[in-house]
Amino acid sequence: MLFHVRMDVHLPRDLPPEEAAEILAREKAYSQALQHSGKWRHIWRLAGEYANFSIFDVQDNAELHEILTGLPLFRFMKITVTPLLRHPSSIREDDS
């Protein structure tokens, strides 16, 4: 199943810089491992915001939930999930 996910990050201003750097390093490693596995198909930064649009290709809602709650930045995020379905007019065979 494909999902469009918007993630808005809100790091607390009083988060110690060392702790923030450690969390961000874990986040990068986690997200890149998911990208290499094919589960996190696309990620785009939103210009001017600490946010991204991503496309996930996972088995079901439960797997997506497990991935998202495993994000090191999860506790600092507002996440919006939209399930996607291949459009009948799409010419791309890999849209499903």
Give per-residue pLDDT as tens, 45-70. 999 999 999 999 999 999 999 999 99
In a domain, 94, yes or no: no
In a domain, 63, yes or no: yes
Q: Strand locations in 10-91, DSSP E?
A: 40-45, 51-57, 77-84
Q: Which residues, in sequence order, are bridge partners of residue 44?
A: 53
CATH number at residue 6: 3.30.70.1060
Q: What is the side-by-side strand order in the sheet with 2-9?
A: 40-45, 51-57, 2-9, 77-84
The three-state secondary structure class of 60 is coil
Domain that holds residue 10: 2-84
Give per-residue pLDDT as tens, 7-33. 999 999 999 999 999 999 999 999 999
In a domain, 76, yes or no: yes
In a domain, 46, yes or no: yes
The number of folded domains in the chain is 1
In a domain, 89, yes or no: no
